[in-house]
């Protein structure tokens, strides 16, 4: 009988076979736009960061299951995040629970899960509780085709292109129609008669078409009222802005002088910090080489010397690289290094997974 971890891993592989090339949203930028990557890349990045071995190449095979055509990027974003949460939680229960040296790792992974769950709830409130079925028992039969719900006159090509640019080529459910309303609202756009007809042209679900016809008038009225309110706020804001611009203009000259003085002090500070950073880097390279004179002053079979050695890496807030651990084990090949390995593992557990081990590429661990 497979463990919970293995079951979740097998399920994730099937999801990647079916949806691995589809985009999932990983964050919202400062402009409010979605930032997406393909699901396969998202899964690989997260599991690599968590240090969990995963047969990602198995996801390159074709899925034999029936894919649900109704899932959009929002559904897949919630789905893949939840499966990753389950996989990482099962990994901790099976391989890390009860091990003191893994405490830092467990806290790091659980912290990521907690932050992402809050983000999902706040970003995808409208679909977070929706039951998503990624695989179907049989292929669905479409009841309607494109154009069945449109009015008889010619459909605007410009409106169809705008819908396509927004990511809509078919409206297959009331949920998708609701999301379309939200997208128009975020853009502060009235749905014109021509746009209404274009939306009906790409709609293949009767309930979704009825939803549009029933709510478009209320939507346009509400949006128009909001725009009028915003116009009033904008007018007041412009008057206040003009006053502020006068005040800012008077302060500009004084601020420019202050800024110049601050920049001069900053350059001096950066120059000094750069010097210290070079010294720190040289010292770290010396400590990473067990054959160096300074490193040989530590006896890595003695607890006191090990603590003094690790003290430097605590100052830098750095993990001990695995290749440097191997160097020291090879250097002390005929002696008992269990205490050294134990203390290094406890030290590394204090720093989050994914923290860079060095400052530049030539020194990163291979």
What are the sequence ranges of the domains in the chain?
Answer: 4-136, 157-237, 289-363
pLDDT at 141: 65
pLDDT at 28: 85
Mean pLDDT of all residues belonging to the chain = 86
Across the chain, the runs of DSSP E, i.e. the strands, are: 23-28, 34-38, 66-67, 135-136
Tell me which of 192-201, 231-240, 341-350, 352-361 is least confident: 352-361
pLDDT at 23: 92
Tell me which of 18-32, 43-57, 119-133, 265-279 is least confident: 265-279
Report the share of the chain in percent with pLDDT over 70. 94
Distance CA 251, CA 237 (A): 21
Conformation bin of residue 167: beta by default, left when phi > 0, alpha when psi is -120 to 50: left
- Whether 364 shows a pLDDT value over 50: the answer reads no
CB 213 within 8 A of CB 193: no
Distance CA 366, CA 363 (A): 9
Q: Three-class SS of residue 171?
A: strand
pLDDT in tens, 136-189: 888 766 667 778 888 777 889 999 999 999 989 889 888 889 999 999 999 889
Tell me what the mean pLDDT of segment 332-347 comes to.
Answer: 89
pLDDT at 280: 78
260: how many CB neighbours lie within 10 A of its CB?
A: 10
CB 351 within 8 A of CB 317: yes
Using 50, 70 and 90 to split pLDDT, how confident is the model at 354?
A: low
Using 50, 70 and 90 to split pLDDT, how confident is the model at 355?
A: low
pLDDT in tens, 203-226: 988 889 999 999 999 999 888 888
In this structure, what token pair is assigned to residue 18? 């079916």
Tell me what the mean pLDDT of segment 330-342 comes to.
Answer: 88
Tell me which of 193-202, 240-249, 316-325 is least confident: 240-249
- Whether 359 shows a pLDDT value over 70: the answer reads no
Using 50, 70 and 90 to split pLDDT, how confident is the model at 360?
A: very low
Name the residue among 62, 56, 55, 63 with its Cα closest to residue 39.
56
pLDDT at 365: 42
């Amino acid at each position: 009988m497979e463990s919970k971890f293995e079951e979740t891993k097998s399920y994730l592989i099937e999801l990647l076979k079916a949806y691995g090339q589809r985009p999932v949203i990983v964050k919202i930028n400062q402009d409010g736009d979605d930032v997406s990557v393909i699901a396969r890349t998202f899964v690989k990045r997260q599991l690599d960061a968590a240090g969990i071995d995963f047969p990602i190449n198995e996801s390159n095979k074709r899925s034999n299951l029936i894919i649900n055509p109704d899932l959009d990027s929002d559904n897949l974003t919630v789905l893949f995040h939840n499966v990753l949460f389950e996989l990482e939680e099962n990994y901790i229960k099976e391989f890390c629970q009860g091990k003191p040296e893994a405490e830092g790792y467990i806290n790091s992974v659980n912290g990521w899960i907690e932050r992402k769950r809050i983000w999902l709830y706040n970003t995808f409130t409208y679909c977070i509780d929706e039951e998503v079925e990624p695989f179907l028992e049989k292929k669905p039969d479409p009841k309607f085709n494109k154009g069945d719900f449109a009015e008889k006159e010619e459909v605007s090509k410009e409106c169809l292109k705008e819908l396509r640019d927004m990511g809509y080529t078919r409206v297959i459910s009331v949920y998708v129609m609701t999301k379309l309303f939200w997208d128009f609202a975020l853009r502060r756009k009235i749905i014109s008669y021509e746009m209404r007809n274009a939306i009906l042209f790409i709609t293949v679900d009767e309930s979704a078409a009825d939803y549009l016809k029933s709510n478009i008038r209320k939507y346009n009225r509400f949006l128009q009222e909001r725009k009028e309110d915003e116009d009033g706020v904008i007018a007041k804001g412009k008057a206040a802005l003009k006053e502020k611009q006068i005040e800012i203009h008077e302060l500009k000259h004084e601020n420019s002088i202050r800024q110049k003085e601050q920049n001069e002090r900053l350059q001096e500070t950066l120059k000094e910090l750069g010097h210290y950073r070079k010294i720190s880097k040289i010292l770290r390279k010396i400590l990473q080489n067990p054959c160096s004179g300074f490193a040989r002053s530590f006896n890595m079979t003695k607890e006191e010397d090990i603590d003094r050695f690790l003290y430097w890496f605590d100052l830098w807030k750095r993990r001990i690289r695995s290749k440097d651990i191997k160097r020291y084990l090879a250097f002390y090949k005929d002696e008992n290094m269990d205490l050294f390995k134990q203390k290094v593992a406890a030290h590394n557990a204090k720093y989050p997974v994914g923290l860079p081990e060095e400052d530049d590429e030539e020194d990163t661990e291979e």
